[in-house]
Structure 1
């Protein structure tokens, strides 16, 4: 259970992703994982507990809460498994290794159409040929 640091919510999409990861469909032990738009950090915490080396990202205003929450909810011997980092999609990508991740996670990050191009640029930078991108979202748009 996530320890409450301040008032924040974990979306159902994050919980669904955590359940999927816990089912063991993807091998996480030793994998280089990055979570985009981590929010409370729940998905990253679960990935780290399952053996991944996780880069936990969100925009700058969210980092203090995110960092405190990850630290509070990982056992002390697992703190090195998760690194908190600022990432605004499409910006400052040179701080992240091109093709440097085996798995990209994103729970409930696809909802503002204006961010789609930046998200795609970010994914193209972070991924290599065999990177798995796992997104959990609610379809919010009804198309004609």
Structure 2
């Protein structure tokens, strides 16, 4: 990729605030990057695959939206729990988790610009208009980076989380071990649960993910498979949630093999 390729998609970027509905009763005003042209999208995806740049969190990806829907439909998975979101981007899943009854939520992303310009804005704006939302902390957390994890621990302490959530965050193979090592570091070993909505991208198929989960000492079950999504459900999806992506999505419930539950 050349520097001119970088400039092409960045020169297109514009941000807008739009209404995102989750379920039939929740709606949020979400700031995110507007859809790029085909050339711009290809340029951005190429950079995501080929560099260590963390630039994916500037919009709601389909798997993030689908995970938010799953949490909303199954509030018991977060009620009374401390929740950590990895690769939060816009923070939609954390917003839903907090309204579903999580006692606390921390939304993290590896891109500091995303944290300040998008994630924090969405949390603060929606909290200001919804008195029942409560507080959500936002911060940077770079998977696999010791100094980033240390800064996170200094701010929030070292207590593990009851629930970790992540949606559509694995778009290249090298991210899988980094994500799973971060989950191992921050999830409660005995009773923690990791909910991941995965859509195969690049070389990260469901089979690759499942192999890595087992290799890292996790057990898992697929709790939702979108392959048979109904017409009514599909009609409620945001316009930028491509149905071809949605039908490939699976929501995983992941626990450590030493878990007591």
TM-score normalised by length of structure 2: 0.50
* Rounded Cα–Cα distance in structure 1 between residues aligned with 2:30 and 2:192: 33
For residues 59-74 of structure 1, what are the structure 2 equivalents within 5 Å? 59=110, 60-64=112-116, 65-74=118-127
**What is the aligned partner in structure 1 of residue 185 from structure 2?**
125
The structure with higher relative contact order (CA 8 Å, sep 6+) is: 1
What SS is found at the alignment partner of 1:78? coil
Among 48, 59, 68, the residue aligned to 1:18:
68
Among 169, 172, 186, the residue aligned to 1:109:
169
Q: Structure 1 residues 61, 99: closer, same or farther in 2, change over 3 A?
A: same
Displacement of 1:25: 5.8
What SS is found at the alignment partner of 2:105? strand
Pick the structure with more helix per residue: 2
**What is the aligned partner in structure 2 of residue 83 from structure 1?**
137
* Rounded Cα–Cα distance in structure 1 between residues aligned with 2:180 and 2:31: 32
Aligned residues: 142
* Rounded Cα–Cα distance in structure 2 between residues aligned with 1:112 and 1:89: 14
Unpaired runs of at least 5, structure 1: none
TM-score normalised by length of structure 1: 0.86
Deviates further, 128-137 or 67-76:
67-76
Q: Structure 1 residues 9, 100: closer, same or farther in 2, change over 3 A?
A: same
What SS is found at the alignment partner of 1:3? strand
Q: Structure 1 residues 79, 68: closer, same or farther in 2, change over 3 A?
A: farther
User: What CA deviation, in whole Å up to 9, does each residue of 1:21-77 have, x standing for no partner?
Assistant: 111263322210000000111111000111211010002121111100111123245
What SS is found at the alignment partner of 1:5? strand
Displacement of 1:9: 2.8
User: Does the CA contact (< 8 Å) of 1:99 and 1:125 recur in 2?
Assistant: no
RMSD (Å), alpha carbons: 2.1
User: Is residue 2:98 matched to residue 1:44?
Assistant: no
Unpaired runs of at least 5, structure 2: 1-19, 21-27, 34-57, 208-261
* Rounded Cα–Cα distance in structure 2 between residues aligned with 1:63 and 1:32: 20
